Amino acid sequence: MPTPLAATTRPPVFDDGGGLAEDLVCRGCGYNLRGLTVEQACPECAAPVEQSVRGDLLRFCDPAWVARLGRGIWWIMGGEIAQLVLGFGLAIWLTAAMVPGPGGTPPTGGAIFGLRHAIGSGLAMLVAIATAYGAWLFTTRDPADAEREPLLSTRRVARIGLMAKVIAAPAGTLGQSVQGAVIGTATVSLGPLIGGVVAAVGLGLVVAVGYITGLVHMRRLVKRVPRPVVARQLKVVAWGFALSQSAALLSGIILAFALPGLLAAAGTGAMPPTRALL
């Protein structure tokens, strides 16, 4: 199977006629360039052979693919910044609905809290979609890896895990709504609550695996950037991605535990002892 030149540290081997005397993949489509000279172009995608001979540094890869990576980075950065701002802003906004007003007036609570929670959940969903779109672009397969990428590659696992974030946002909102509805009934059943927790943990694990493999994928791309400034920028994105997702996960856990009490406080008063235990 042909391999990229970057897999070795030696220069490529040429025959007496100037053609490649070993298997070498095209950086544009994965075609085997054996027998071609550096002056020629790939017969499949017309990418210069010289581009593939130079190795797999990003600046020598398919320009369209590199451009997709760049757009993905911008979408991810924008989504993560928006998520941080939205997370803190939403926490303050929701808390304000439960705090007494000026002069000791009762908190708005109730419907106002529910409305604000719905608006915040909708905005969080939009941010999740934007970030997932960026992750989809950023995990686009290198055209040169078309024939040699394993089925469960880091890139594929990262893409699946990061796409699960789009499912996690509405699933979390639905789970909180069901939890609130169950808590508000006269008879509380542990089944829906336990099922919701198990589903949330399972989906969270899938997303967590996506985060980890996404960072591994990003680290491998960093090694293919010869400019230290760009490499540092990618590392900043990687750490920012990890920190923002950790903050979002922590906020979600806190809200999940606090929501039943907030809903009870916003309703008719203190919860009966059997409900308060949940």
278 domain residue, yes or no? no
Give the ranges where the chain is alpha helix by DSSP (H): 49-53, 63-96, 110-138, 154-183, 190-222, 228-266, 273-276
Do both 13 and 88 map to the same domain? no
223 domain residue, yes or no? yes
150 domain residue, yes or no? yes
Do both 98 and 158 map to the same domain? yes
Encode pLDDT of 164-184 as tens digits: 777 766 666 555 555 555 555
Q: Are 7 and 16 in contact (CB under 8 A)?
A: no
Do both 30 and 77 map to the same domain? no
The amino acid present at 28, given as its one-letter code, is G
For residue 224, what pLDDT is reported? Answer: 76
Residue 186 pLDDT exceeds 70: no
Residue reference for tokens 């540290």: 9
Do both 89 and 11 map to the same domain? no
Q: Are 224 and 59 in contact (CB under 8 A)?
A: no
Tell which of 38, 55, 72 closes a domain: 55
Q: Supply the pTM of this predicted model.
A: 0.60
The tally of domains found in the chain comes to 2
Do both 241 and 216 map to the same domain? yes
Do both 268 and 214 map to the same domain? yes
277 domain residue, yes or no? no
Do both 38 and 168 map to the same domain? no
Encode pLDDT of 128-154 as tens digits: 888 889 989 998 888 877 666 777 888
158 domain residue, yes or no? yes
Do both 65 and 16 map to the same domain? no
Q: Which residues contact 251 (CB under 8 A, 6 or more apart)?
A: 87, 91
CA distance 265 to 178: 17
Q: Where is average pLDDT lowest: 101-105, 213-217, 234-238, 249-253? A: 101-105
Of residues 180 and 274, the one with the higher pLDDT is: 180
For residue 137, what pLDDT is reported? Answer: 92
User: Which whole-number Å values give the CA distances from 163 to 93, 176, 268, 278, in the listed order?
Assistant: 28, 21, 40, 32
What residue numbers bound the domain in which 48 lies?
A: 1-55
Do both 38 and 85 map to the same domain? no
Identify the CA nearest to 263 among candidates 175, 184, 173.
Answer: 184
